[in-house]
């Protein structure tokens, strides 16, 4: 079966269109083999997620998006993949809007340029049980530390769910923190029963941030759309940044606006169709 190779700000996907093939199913082993860096189908970069487009499961949506991560298991949200799926639908239909359904929500999307899409990610989930955390606590700051108790290298992160769990640390520089080493330790922290994505954000201005994300089940990625949304929400809640922030990730820039009017988070950014592959 043929598939598309796409990316959103460097966040890379293998996209299968199974809207006319409801019986199309991939095993966890097949997903892992396809997404693994160096695979014959995806090349040296591999894929951060495998996306299967299916017929919408309910009224009001144009397409249902199934999301599988590098380890093969299904997750409920991926903001950059949502923008890619919406772009494909808009290219097919000639419209400038589309609604993508995931396990978590219906996500309205609009075209903002020839290869740029904005998605309404809805309201962030901020209660400890929604994220989820293992025990009740306020989520502006949560009690997770790395390093010596009296002088931790990382502490007081914010916790947010954007359809998947995120914890966001605020850092001065990335060389000292080493996200590729800290990320896996926090991902499996016992406070997170479903594991967690781990963000490391450097605030450069009230409307500018540099972000690196360790994605659960994947590792370090060029971009994480829900991670960028979570970082802006967490930063604003800790009075570190405003509601509208340009988030620079390794693969490009995502523009995040946490609207005061309705509490919805809007993410805008680039979409790229790299090519095609065959499974």
> Do the Cβ atoms of 68 and 32 come closer than 8 Å?
no
Q: Are 14 and 2 in contact (CB under 8 A)?
A: no
The secondary structure element, H or E, covering residue 34 is helix 28-35
Instruction: Bin 138: left if φ > 0, else alpha if -120 < ψ < 50, else beta.
Output: beta
Q: Confirm whether 229 is a catalytic residue.
A: no
Among 35, 84, 109, 224, the one annotated catalytic: 224
The answer to whether 199 touches 171, Cβ cutoff 8 Å, is no
3-state class (DSSP) for residue 236: helix
Rounded CA gap, 133 and 193, in Å?
Answer: 7
Distance CA 245, CA 237 (A): 13
Judge whether 35 counts as a catalytic residue.
no
Cα 84 to Cα 88: distance, rounded to the nearest angstrom: 6
DSSP 90-104: HHHH--SEEEEE-SS
Catalytic residue among 78, 84, 109, 229: 78
Catalytically annotated residues:
78, 224
């Amino acid at each position: 079966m043929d598939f598309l190779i796409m990316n959103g700000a460097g966040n890379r996907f293998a996209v299968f269109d199974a809207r006319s093939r409801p019986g199309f199913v991939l095993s966890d082993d097949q997903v892992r083999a396809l997404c693994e860096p160096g695979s014959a189908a995806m090349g040296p970069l591999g894929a951060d997620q495998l996306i299967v487009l299916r017929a919408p499961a309910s009224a009001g949506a144009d397409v249902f998006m199934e999301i599988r991560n590098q380890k093969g298991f299904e997750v409920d949200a991926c903001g950059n993949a949502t923008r890619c799926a919406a772009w494909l639908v808009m290219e097919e239909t000639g419209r400038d809007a589309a609604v993508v359904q995931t396990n978590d929500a219906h996500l309205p999307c609009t075209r903002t340029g020839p290869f740029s899409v904005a998605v309404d990610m809805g309201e962030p989930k901020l209660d400890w049980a929604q994220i989820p955390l293992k025990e009740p606590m306020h989520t502006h700051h949560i009690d997770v530390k790395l390093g010596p108790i009296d002088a931790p290298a990382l502490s007081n992160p914010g916790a947010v769910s954007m359809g998947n769990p995120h914890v966001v640390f605020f850092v001065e520089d990335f060389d000292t923190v080493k996200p590729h080493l800290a990320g896996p330790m926090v991902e499996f922290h016992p406070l997170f029963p479903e594991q967690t994505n781990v963000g490391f954000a450097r605030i450069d201005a009230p409307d500018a941030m540099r972000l690196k994300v360790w994605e659960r089940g994947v590792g370090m990625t060029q971009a994480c759309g829900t991670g960028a949304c979570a970082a802006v929400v967490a930063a604003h809640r800790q009075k570190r940044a405003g509601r509208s922030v340009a988030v620079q990730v390794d693969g490009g820039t995502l523009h995040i606006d946490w609207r005061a009017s309705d509490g919805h988070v809007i993410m805008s950014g680039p979409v790229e169709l790299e090519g095609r592959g065959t499974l």
